[in-house]
Structure 1
Amino acid sequence: MKVESSNYPARYWHRNDDGRLQCDLCPRDCKLHDGQRGACFVRMRQGEQMVLTTYGRSSGFCIDPIEKKPFNNFYPGSSVFSFGTAGCNLACKFCQNWDISKSHDMDSLMDQASPEAIAKAAREHGCKSVAFTYNDPVIFAEYAMDTADACHALGIQTVAVTAGYIHEQPRRELFAKMDAANVDLKAFTEDFYFKLSSAHLQPILDTLVYLKHETRVWLELTTLLIPGYNDSDQELVAMCNWIMKELGPDVPLHFSAFHPDYKMMDVPPTPVATLVRARNIALKQGLHYVYTGNVHNIEGDTTFCPSCQAPLIVRDWYQINDYRLTALGHCPDCGNPVAGRFDAKCGHFGRQRIPVTLG
């Protein structure tokens, strides 16, 4: 099926008494007159319905290592077919993908593809999974869900890289189609979310608890540490204690390095020492799988046995240099099971990144 560049009927909205249509996808609850767009820019009122303006249109396709998303305990070494669209329902001043997520230029979405075409391309390139990434799949939920169905029909896994800012009903329906999710836990204060992301913390925490306790979705977390904003010992301890209490010790946590970008060009890059400090705090609080990202740190890239501390998956950036898990995903030294999703053998995709054009 060829998908033309046209507006697609959206789900998750209702008519208010004042005649405006309210979007029910995320906690922003945008209320729109005819022709107006929501804060995400891609959901628009057109006459008497809500439409998604980016269905079937992508900012590009690329084959990545799964560790780049990042997922370290989800089929390590495998390749993932990655794509996104445009727009975002958050307004992060530190956005590292702002050219995509903040884009209001629909003409920048040059690649067109139906859900079936994406699934077939992923299979033809030998990808284990398809990732909805670069911008948040929440705002193109209909496209992501249809693509997930097409992928599952061909035996391909699906992963969402998301901020988790979504209402209850669409959350249920979107994540019912996902095999894994990496959720950005951007900070652990309401003040940070409100001032730097124009959002709120509690809906993200609700999404995390839902994913862990009411779905079979494999869950990993990422926190971008920004010097002076969300990297204090006090906040990191509070966050890790919450993760331990509400999600348990086996949810992997990635601490990622910030680099100056978008509206925070005056903030310095995150020192490696900050990531190491954060990782040590998380391990001390009892988390089993804590990683560092966007920096060269082999120890922070490595998966250790939570029981005997043996290095089990040794990484150098996205390259796996040693893989010692048994076929059942256990430590060969002490027999302890390692949390995650694993094949009998490790993948060998490596560090490469392959841009793809769909005909």
Structure 2
Amino acid sequence: MRKPKRISIRNVATRAGVSPATVSNVLNGRQGAATPEVAERVQAIARELGYEVDRVASQLRTGKARVVTVLVPSLDNPYFSAVIASLERCVQDEGYDIIVASSNENEEVERSRLSALLSWRPSGVVIIPNDDRFATRTLLDDVGVPYVVVDRITEGFEGDTIGSDNFSAGRHAAEHLLEYGHSNALVVATTTRIANIRERCAGIVQVFEQAGLPAPPILEVGQTFETVAEGLQRWFTANERPTAVIALTNFGTLGVLADMAQRNIRIPEDISLVGFDDYAWMRATAPPITAMRQDVEQIAAQAWATIRARIDDPAAVPRHVRLPCELILRNSTKRIGLPIRRLPAAEEPAKGGTRRKSVARQPRV
């Protein structure tokens, strides 16, 4: 039985009454390639005929694939998965595909997976490094491919970076608890070896110290749900229960909920909880969780816009974007007293008491 003949770009061009070059430009998402009416006609005919862009031929012509590769520390983490899904929506309208890999929070794996991704000759790379050292950046610099670092941003890194304003996010979470009268809190962090976690901690510490209160303890519980639960169990066994907990990641939030349920500690009657990130399950729990929401859609959109600009102009000035987080108030926090206010400026504690506007100059915890 004869194989059906492959539909070519010329077949689409003939039916649409345009040149093959116009078809190529339209289907590859090049802006201004045709009028909206012509572009719509070309796309409709391509769908009708079942035409698919020949990515191999395109790569042979340009030396690069219309592919953006994405490397994240873990596919188990809902935040990283949400970034990937948002990126996919961004690139598909411009004729690009994405290829995704996970480094499993391991530097050797990160290097291996990044080498594999670069073998595709991608047009650009979006990377969330394992840690602050970002040792694999040399691979990207050597190849010269446009890339943007998202979320976990190495201090002093001069390339393109997109992330949340983590310092302000930490401040907002702490200010909310002080507004509700909480002076005794526990901060549940993954690891302070990562800059964005340190920045959140620094914002929290600054608010407490500016109110004349001791800095809350910071409990490092690791990167998985299991280690969160184990760390919390040890801490609560050895320490007096605080009136509130701030969990700095979604896994941390889930781990706190699990540990409180095991101990029959009610939220918010016995302890208030502020989580981080904002997912459907946080709205579905009883009670729904008050959380600091990162704008994942905007983070992905800014990452793609940055890569796109870098592709068009490799010599462009690096972009450093920090997006605000939003405190979503729900029922997991409870008012237990009068609001705790900041001390007047002259009475503020010297350590950590200076308002800082630049993320790069924020104190480490």
- Whether these two folds match at TM > 0.5 is no
In our comparison, the structure showing a higher alpha carbon Rg is 2
**By percentage of residues, which structure has more strand?**
1
Q: TM-score, normalised by structure 2?
A: 0.30
